[in-house]
Structure 1
Amino acid sequence: MQKTLIIFKPDCVQKKHVGAVLGRFEQAGFSLIGAKMIRLTPALLREHYSHVADKPFYPEIEKFMSSHPVLVAALQGDNIVAKVRELLGPTDSKKAAKGTIRGDFGADMMVNVVHASDSEENGKIEIARFFKADEIFA
């Protein structure tokens, strides 16, 4: 069983889409194994987005992602990383087909409902970044 991290971004929380999006993950057969609402700090965001923290667009990401509390969740399921990314659609919501999560709820490249781990390895790293071991109920 693979695990992945999902961050329900500020737009998802503010527009009250968390239940609908989580429901899609559950309907796909995935199990929720951890969840909590947090406000992302600049230090945590810089660590999480370290691969783009030196890019000129990073301050916009930090501003958006810290603008409102988010829900972080750990999910588990067979081949979950690939299946979640398929459910989400492309990162740019404008290019996402209707019926995908981003196509139905997203607005653009950043305001795109959720972050999801892009590999099994990153899923483990990201879950450990946001959750203590005793907060995961696998």
Structure 2
Amino acid sequence: MDKTFVIFKPDCMAKGLVGQVLARFESAGFSIAAAKMIQLTPEKLREHYAHVADKPFFPEIAEFMGSRPVIVAVLKGEGVVAKVRDLLGPTDSTKAPAGTIRGDLGENMMINVCHASDSDENAQIETDRFFDPAEVLG
């Protein structure tokens, strides 16, 4: 069974959208293999966003992502990585079509409801970053 990693971002948490977004994932046939609420630390944010940590916009991302607790989760299902990204729509919510999660609920490039892994390899790396193996079931 394929797995992917998602973060229900601070805007999702603040607007009370976690249940609605999770319901969309479950309606698409995916189930939860792991989930927990955490506060992202500066160290964890620098590790997770290492690919952009040297960019001028990184401090804004770190401030936003660390602004409130988030829910991190692992979803499982056939072809889950690509299908979750399709359900979310493009990263920039202003370009996401209606009917996608970001198109319906997001605001812009950063305030876009959820992060989702972009490959099977990154799904495993990100899952390992946030979960101990015993926390991921199924």
Same fold judged by TM-score > 0.5?
yes
SS in 2 for 1:73: strand
Q: What is the aligned partner in structure 2 of residue 126 from structure 1?
A: 126
Matches within 5 A, 1:36-115: 36-115=36-115
Q: Which runs of 5+ in 1 are unaligned?
A: none
Separation in structure 1 between the aligned mates of residue 44 and residue 63 of structure 2, nearest angstrom: 13
Structure 1 position 2, deviation (Å): 1.3
SS in 1 for 2:50: coil
Separation in structure 2 between the aligned mates of residue 99 and residue 109 of structure 1, nearest angstrom: 17
Tell me, yes or no, if structure 1 residue 19 matches structure 2 residue 33.
no
Separation in structure 1 between the aligned mates of residue 114 and residue 92 of structure 2, nearest angstrom: 11
Separation in structure 2 between the aligned mates of residue 42 and residue 16 of structure 1, nearest angstrom: 24
Separation in structure 1 between the aligned mates of residue 65 and residue 100 of structure 2, nearest angstrom: 22
Structure 1 position 134, deviation (Å): 1.1
Q: What is the aligned partner in structure 2 of residue 34 from structure 1?
A: 34
Separation in structure 2 between the aligned mates of residue 134 and residue 17 of structure 1, nearest angstrom: 28
Separation in structure 2 between the aligned mates of residue 52 and residue 77 of structure 1, nearest angstrom: 29
TM-score, normalised on structure 2? Answer: 0.99
SS in 2 for 1:124: helix
Separation in structure 2 between the aligned mates of residue 47 and residue 76 of structure 1, nearest angstrom: 24
Percent identity, aligned pairs only?
Answer: 65
Point out 4+ residue stretches in structure 1 off by more than 4 angstroms: none
Separation in structure 1 between the aligned mates of residue 2 and residue 61 of structure 2, nearest angstrom: 28
Alignment RMSD: 0.5
SS in 1 for 2:7: strand
TM-score, normalised on structure 1? Answer: 0.99
Q: Partner letter of residue 33 of structure 2?
A: I
- What is the count of residue pairs matched by the alignment? 138
